[in-house]
Structure 1
Amino acid sequence: MDRATIITSILEKRKPLAQRIQLVEGNLKTLSTALNQLEEYRNHLLKQVDEPNVIGRLEEINFSNIQLTIASELEALTKLKNRFSRDTLNIGVVGRARQGKSRLLQSLTGLSAAEIPDGDRQHCTGVRSTIHHNPQVDTYAEVWFHTERSFLDDVIAPYYEKLRLGIKPITLEEFANKPLPQLPQDIPGYAAPGAMYEHLKRYHTHLDQYHHLLRETSPRIIQKDNIREYVSQDTPDGQRILFNYLAVKEVKITCKFPNVDIGKIALVDMPGLGDTGLGDEERLIKALGKDIDFVLFVRMPKSAGDYWADVDVKLYDTARSALVDLPVNLWSFVVLNKTNAESNNGDNFKNCEDLLNTVEEKHINVEKCLIANCANDTETSQLLDTVLDYLTNNLTVLDKQYTSTCQKRLLETHQAVNAELNKAKTVFNQNLEDDSQEIEELFSDLFGDSDNGWWKDVALALQTLRTELWYLRQTPNEELYHGVLNAIKNCEQDKGILSLENALQEINNRIMISSAFRAYPDYQDELRVLISHRFLSLDENLKRTVELVKNQVVNVLKEKGRLNIISNSEGSEFFTEISQLIPERFTKLKAGFRIIADFQLSYRGLILPRIRQHLDGLTNISAMTGQSGGISEQQDKTLTVSKDTTADDIFTALEIDYNKAINTIKPAIEELLCEPNEAAHAMVEEFIDNIIRQKDIQKEWKNFLRGLRGQIWSEIFGKKERDREMRKKWMESVNQVNIINELESFNLAQ
C-alpha cells in the first residue's frame, strides 16, 4: 500500500472517533447542567431544612471541583475531536526568526518567497499559514480576516492583560482614538514586555492602513501573485511597510508539492512562537494543540559557534504545554538547518553536530534530531519522507495513546461524580415507608366518608345549598326583575323620534325627501332597533345571577372544603382554576368542575326570542315572504299609508306601535323571571351529581386531595409534606444525575 493510501486510511479511521467524541461532549454538557441544577437545589435546601445532621451532610457535597474538571475535559475533548475531524495530517513548523522556517517551507511546497516570505533580519512572516497539497489546482490562497470583535477580544485584549495596561478598549473607535497607556514601570521583566509593547504599538499606529479589512467577508480568495500582501510584514526588498497581515486571522494556501506521494498532508507556518516581539503566542499555542499532528522545530546554528540557549528551551516548553495529553516528544523532530560556506551564515555543519550531540542535555526531548539543509530540495524531500514514514507507522498508536489519556480522566470524572452522588443519596436517611404509612392513615381520617370528615362536611353543605335553591326556583329572580324595570324605564324615557321636540318637523322633512310610503316603515325600523337595544343590558343581569349562585358554591368549597388554600378566585374563574389543577386521570372530577365553569345564561338565548315576537308591530316586513311594501301587508297594522298621509298621522301611528310593543314585552318578560332561578338550581344540582353522587367520585376526590394535603391541612401535614416533597425532589435530582453519569456515556471507544 502506498503512503498516500495509508494516510487516507488513517484519516478515515479517525472520523468515527470524532463522532463518538461529539456524543461524549454532549453527555458531559448535559451532566454539567444536571449537576448545576442539583447544586442549586442543595443550596435551596440549606436554607429550608432545620435538622443539623441533614445540613451537615448537604454541606459535605461539593460539585464545584467536578464542574471545573468537566470544563477542562470539554476543552480537551474539543482538541481531540478537532484532531480526528481533520481532512489532512497537519505538520507544524516552529522556530525563531532567521532559523530557516520559511526556507524549509519553500523547499517542501515548491512555493517561492513571494508566497512564503523569508528574510535575514527579523520575522518576515506575520500570519499563521496552512499550506495544502493539491496537484489538481493552480496556487491560490484563502484569507480569513478578524472581525472587529475578534480583533479586540483575541488580539488586542491579551496585550492589555499581559502588560497590565488597564481597561481594555471595547470598540475599534476607542482603540483608534485613545493613546496607548504607558507601559507600567513595575512590570516583571524588561526586554520581553518592551518588545510586546512595541508590537502593540504597531497595531495601534497603523490601524488606518488595515482596519477596513476587519469588515471584509471571509474567506477572500487571493491569487498567487498577491499572497505576500496578506502574510508578510516586509516587501521583497526588506522594507517593513506591509500591514494587511495585522487584520488577518489565518491564511490557507493550496498548491502542488514537489513530492507528489505525500497524500493528504498540510504544512502549517506558525510565526510568533519563540519570538518575544510578537504578542500572539497564546493564540498560537492553542492552535498548536488544536490543529497540529506533528511539529518540526527548526534551529539554524551559527557557524561561528552556537549552543542550546534558554530561548530554545523556552520555545520547546511552550510547545510542550500546548497538548499535555500527548507528550510533544512523541510527535516532534528537531531539524538542525545546515548551511554551506556560500551562505550568509557560512558552513555550520560542525555546529549542527555539536547541537545534535547535546540536545538531550537541555531536555529538549523529541523523537528524532536531524540535520538537513532547509534550502536544499533533495534534503528537505528526504526530511519529509522521514516525517511521513514516522507518521504512517506511529500515528494510529499516538491517537490511541491520546484517546486513552482522555478516557482515563473521563473515568476519573465519572467516579468522582459517583462519590458525590453516594453522599447525596444518604442526605435524608429517614424511614420513608413508615412515615408514608403514618401520613396516609392520618389523611384518610381527615378526608373521612359519608359519616364524618371532609367528605361529609362538603357533601352536606352542598346539599343544604341545593335545598335552598330548590325553594327559590319558582320565585322571580330579583336581579333580572330590576334589570327589566330599568330597561322599561329607559324605553319610556327615551322613545327616539317620538321624544324629540321637533318630531313633526323631522317626520315632515323625511316625507319630503323620501315620501310617506318610505318614512313610516323607516321610523318603525328605528324604533324596533331602539327597543331591542334597551334590553341588551339584561345579558349582564343574567351573567351576574349565574355568578352569584356560583359564588355560593365557591363559598361552600372554600369554607367547608378548604379549597381557598389553592385558589383565591371567585365564580367561574375559581372552577376553571380548580379544573386546571385536577390531573387528567381524574376524568369525572375534572369534567364536573369544567361543566359548571362553562355554564352561563344569555340574553340572546333566553330573552331575545320572547322580545322579538312582540316587535312585529314595528315592522313593515311580511312574516310570510320577508318582503316589504305591501305585498303581503299585516292585517292589524296601525296606519295604511297613502299619498295624503301627514306627519301627524305617522307620529300618532308610531306612538301607538311603540307603546303597544312596550306594553306587550313587559308581561312577556315577567313570565321569564323565574327561569334564572330554575337554571341556577339545575346548574348546582348537576354539579353536585357530578362531583358528589357519581360512582367512584369519592376515590377521585381523595386521590386529588392527597397531593394537596400539605396545603389544605398545612397545620397537620405542612412540615411533613414539605419535608417529604424536599426528599422526593432531592432524590429525583440525584437519580437524574445518576442516569446521565452512566459509564457508557463517557466511553470514547466505539
Structure 2
Amino acid sequence: MDIRLIITEVLKKRHQKVANLEKIRQGLSELEISLDNLQQMMNQTRDQTAGIPSDFVNVISDITNNTSHIHDKIVAINLSVAHLVKRFGKETINIGVAGKARQGKSTLLQKISGLSDTEIPTSNELPCTGAKSKIYHYEGRSYARVEFYTQEEFLKEILQPYFEKLRLPRPILLERFREILPDFGGETNQDRNLEKAIYEKLKDIHHAFPSFYHFLSKPAEVLELSQIVEYVTQSHGRTKYFSVRAANVYTKFPNHDVTGLCLVDLPGLEAAQGHEKKLVSSLEQEVDAVILVKLPSAQGTQYDADDYKVIDLINDSIKEIDLTDWLFIILNELSDGSNKAQVQLLLDNPPMTYSKPTILKANCNDTAEVEQHIFSPMLKHIEQKLETIDKQYVKALATQFDRIANELRGILHPAHQSLATELPGLGMDMEFSKLFRQFMGDLKVGLEDLVLTIRQEIQLLGAEFEQKVIEVCAVAKKNPPISEPMELARQYKVFGGWNRAVEEQLNHLRAYLTEHLATHLDTYLQAKIDEKLTAFVSQIFPNTFREVLLQDNQEGNNSRLMLKVLLEQLSQTKQPILYTSFEYILKFSFAYHSHFHYRVREEMRGLETYTDASVREIVPNDATQENILEKAEEIAAGLLERYQKTVYYVNKRLSGKEMQTDPGRAIFSLVEEIKDRLIRTREIEEEEWRPFLSEMRGKLWTEAFGHFEREIALKRQWQQAMEGILRNVEYVQTGFSV
C-alpha cells in the first residue's frame, strides 16, 4: 500500500479514539477526586467520633488506608492517558532522532529530508543543534516557522531546572536572572564534575541573555530555509536558539511522498544540558518511534553509561511499549570503513537490556544506505506495526486499570456491605410510635381549639372590620383629588364645555376611591390572615418542628416562610394530600377586589358617567362662557358634595351585617378546611404523616434519635461515596473496552 495512504489511515484511526480517551481521562480525574474525598471524609469523621461505633471507624479507616496507594496509581495512569490523548491527537506521525554530539545525527536528518548544511549544520567540533527542530514532509514550497518561548515558559522550563539541579535559589521573576549568578558551591559533591558542566552551561545562558531576551514571548516567525540556521544552531556565537521552543521546517523529502510524517530532532542528550525532563516529555507525547544514532569509535567501543542512560529514559517514558517496537539504534559506519569492525562488534553484542531494541547499521553520510537500511525499514515499521502498537498501548493501560479496578472492588464491596444501613431496632420503633402519637394528638387538639377560637371570634372580627372601614372611609374623605376652580376653568376651555370636564373629575374620583379602599383594606385583611397563620403554626407545631423549619432562615420567625420551607420538605408523590394542603394555605387570598368591590361598586353610582344625569346635577343651569370662574367654584363644591355622599354610602354598605362578618367567616373557613385536610382526610395519618415524620425524626426529636440519625447519615455518606467510585470504575472500564 502507498505509505502516504497508510499514514493517513493510521492518523484517522488515532483521531477517532481521542474523544473516547478524553472521556476516560474525565472518569480517571473524577476517581482521583473521589479518592481524595475519602481521605477528607476520614479526617472529618475523626473530628466527630464521639458516639460513633468503633467498628464503623475501623471499617472506614481500612478503606482509606487500603486505597491511599491506589490514588497514586490512578494519577499515574491518568497521566499516561493524557499523553496518549496528545499522541493520538497529533496531525503527524513523528520519528524522533536523537544522539550525542558528533555521532552523525544531523547528517542522517539531511539524508532523509534532503536538506543541506545550510538548514541542518554539521560539525566535527561542538554540538551544532541548539533548539528542537521538526522537519515535515511538505509538497508545497519549502519554508520554516520558528516558535519562541514565552517569558514564563523560559523561566519555568529552561532556567529553573538548572537552578534546581544545582541546588541554587530559583529566580521567581525572569528579570532577576539578569543579576549576578550565585556562586557554584558543589565542588565536594559526588557529581561535582557533571554539575560544574551544567553550571558552565547556565553561565553561557546568563551571558547571552541580553542578546536573545527580546525574542521571548514574540509571535512565531515564518522564514526562508536559508535563515533557519540563525535560530537553531549554537556555533559561531549564535544565541537566538536559547529563545526557540521549536523550529518547524516544511520541505519535500526526496524519495517518498510521506505527507503526515515528521522528523523530530531531539537535542539535549549531552549530560551537561540537564534537560532530561524535556526529552522525556517529547518521548511521552509526540514521538512514535526513536532513532538513536551512535558512532562507534575506530579505537574501540562499547555501549557506555551514557547510552544506557538514554535507553532508560526512552524505556521509562512509555513502559507500555517494548523497546523492540519503537527504539532503533543506528550504528553509524564511517565512509572509509575504519570503524567497520567496531560496528559489527556492537551489532553482535547488543545492549544488555530487558527489552531488546532494533539495531541497524548504515553509513549515515551515504544517501543510498540511509534510504535502504534506515528510512525504508522505518517506513515498513510504520506500515506493519504502528497501528498494532497503538492498540497494545491502549490495551496495556486498560490492563493496568483492570488491576486497579479489581483491587478497588475487593476493598469497597465488603466495606459497603458492612456499612449497610440497618433499620431501627424495636426500641427505636416503639420510641418513634410514642412520639408520633403525641405529635398527632397535639396537632388534632391544636387544630380543634383553633377552629373553636376562630368561630367564637367571628363577631369580634366583624366589629374590628367595621371599625377599620370607618377609619379607611374617614381618611378617604380628606383631600379628595378635586381640581381647584382655576384648573376646572382651564379644563372647561380644553374640553370645550363643562360636561366633559366634570366627567373627567368624576372618573378620577371613582378610581381614587376604589384604589384607596383596596390598598388599605387589602393591607388589613392580609395582616389578619397572617396573624391567624402565625397562630396556626405556633399552636399546632411544637417548638422543635418550627426550629427545624427555620434553621437555615435568615428572615426571623415568619409563619409564611416556615410553611414554604415545610412545603419544600414534602414530596408531591409520597405526601400528595399534605403537599396540596400546605400549598392551598400558602396560596389562600382574601382581598377587597375579589370579595367586596363588586358589591360596593353599586354605591358608587353617584360618580358614574355612563349617563349625563350626574353631570347635569353638578353643572349649574346658568353656567355660560361669561361666568366660567364663578361657576367653577360651584362645580368644585358640587363634586366634593357628591364624593362625600358616595363615601358615606360605601361606608354604610361595608359596615352592614351583610359584609361585616365576611372576613371572620373567610378566616374560619380557611382554618376549618386546614383541619379537615390535615387530620380528617382518610388514611392521611398513617400513609403521609407517619412516613414524613419518620424521615425527620432525627431533627425533630434530636435527643431520642439524633445520635442514631447521625450514624445513619454518616454510613449513607460513605456508602454513596463508595458507590460513586465504583460507578466511575465501571465508566472507565467501559471506555477502555470501546
Q: TM-score, normalised by structure 1?
A: 0.83
1:666 aligns with 2:656: no
Aligned residues: 716
1:69 aligns with 2:73: yes
1:318 is matched with 313
1:268 is matched with 264
Structure 1: how far apart are the matches of 2:388 and 2:490? 108
2:554 is matched with none
1:377 positional shift: 0.4
2:112 is matched with 108
Structure 2: how far apart are the matches of 1:14 and 1:148? 33
Provide Cα deviations, 1:501-558, integer angstroms capped at 9, x if missing partner: xx77777788799898376566556655554554322221111011011112111332
- Of 659, 678, 693, the match for 1:705: 693
1:663 positional shift: 2.1
Provide Cα deviations, 1:37-87, integer angstroms capped at 9, x if missing partner: 444334333333432232223222223211111000112233345555556
Q: 1:710 touches 1:717 (CA, 8 Å); kept in 2?
A: yes
1:268 positional shift: 1.6
Structure 1: how far apart are the matches of 2:226 and 2:496? 96
Alignment of 1:199-598 (within 5 A): 199-200=201-202, 214-216=216-218, 221-230=222-231, 232-234=232-234, 238-243=235-240, 245-260=241-256, 265-276=261-272, 278-302=273-297, 308-328=303-323, 330-340=325-335, 347-353=338-344, 360=351, 366-382=356-372, 383-389=374-380, 392=383, 395=386, 398-399=389-390, 402-403=393-394, 405-422=396-413, 424-425=415-416, 428=419, 432-433=422-423, 435=424, 439-448=428-437, 453-477=438-462, 480-495=465-480, 517=498, 528=510, 531-532=513-514, 534-535=516-517, 536-559=519-542, 562-567=545-550, 569-585=557-573, 586-598=575-587
Name the CA shift for 1:305/1:723 in 2 (closer, same or farther; >3 Å).
Answer: closer
1:627 is matched with none
Structure 2: how far apart are the matches of 1:455 and 1:300? 94
Structure 1: how far apart are the matches of 2:92 and 2:644? 99
1:736 aligns with 2:710: no
Structure 2: how far apart are the matches of 1:658 and 1:192? 107
Provide Cα deviations, 1:266-319, integer angstroms capped at 9, x if missing partner: 32210112341x353311212113322322221234556666554444333333
Q: 1:262 touches 1:388 (CA, 8 Å); kept in 2?
A: no
Gaps of 5+ in 1: 625-629
Moved more, 596-605 or 21-30: 21-30
Structure 2: how far apart are the matches of 1:640 and 1:191? 125
Name the CA shift for 1:561/1:192 in 2 (closer, same or farther; >3 Å).
Answer: closer
Q: Which amino acid aligns with 1:295?
A: V
Structure 1: how far apart are the matches of 2:261 and 2:643? 101
Name the CA shift for 1:293/1:516 in 2 (closer, same or farther; >3 Å).
Answer: closer
2:638 is matched with 653
2:714 is matched with 726
Moved more, 372-381 or 206-215: 206-215
Secondary structure (helix, strand or coil) at the match of 2:236 reads: coil
Q: 1:57 touches 1:423 (CA, 8 Å); kept in 2?
A: no
- Of 138, 162, 165, the match for 1:162: 165
Provide Cα deviations, 1:67-112, integer angstroms capped at 9, x if missing partner: 1110001122333455555565432211112221111100111112
Structure 1: how far apart are the matches of 2:559 and 2:344? 98
1:702 positional shift: 1.8
2:124 is matched with 120
Moved more, 96-105 or 645-654: 645-654
Provide Cα deviations, 1:408-437, integer angstroms capped at 9, x if missing partner: 43232123212331452365478x25x356
Alignment of 1:44-63 (within 5 A): 44-49=44-49, 50-61=52-63, 62=65, 63=67
Secondary structure (helix, strand or coil) at the match of 2:564 reads: helix
1:731 positional shift: 2.3
Provide Cα deviations, 1:86-140, integer angstroms capped at 9, x if missing partner: 5654322111122211111001111122332333333322222232335x43333
Q: 1:140 touches 1:255 (CA, 8 Å); kept in 2?
A: yes
1:684 is matched with 671
Name the CA shift for 1:252/1:676 in 2 (closer, same or farther; >3 Å).
Answer: same
Name the CA shift for 1:641/1:67 in 2 (closer, same or farther; >3 Å).
Answer: farther
Q: 1:567 touches 1:574 (CA, 8 Å); kept in 2?
A: yes
2:182 is matched with 182
Secondary structure (helix, strand or coil) at the match of 1:566 reads: helix
Name the CA shift for 1:153/1:616 in 2 (closer, same or farther; >3 Å).
Answer: farther
Name the CA shift for 1:116/1:549 in 2 (closer, same or farther; >3 Å).
Answer: same
Gaps of 5+ in 2: 552-556
1:598 positional shift: 1.0
1:693 aligns with 2:693: no
Structure 2: how far apart are the matches of 1:2 and 1:509? 99
Q: 2:401 touches 2:733 (CA, 8 Å); kept in 1?
A: no
Q: Which amino acid aligns with 1:320?
A: N
1:493 positional shift: 4.8
Q: Which amino acid aligns with 1:179?
A: E
Moved more, 202-211 or 157-166: 202-211
Q: 1:128 touches 1:251 (CA, 8 Å); kept in 2?
A: yes
Moved more, 506-515 or 642-651: 506-515
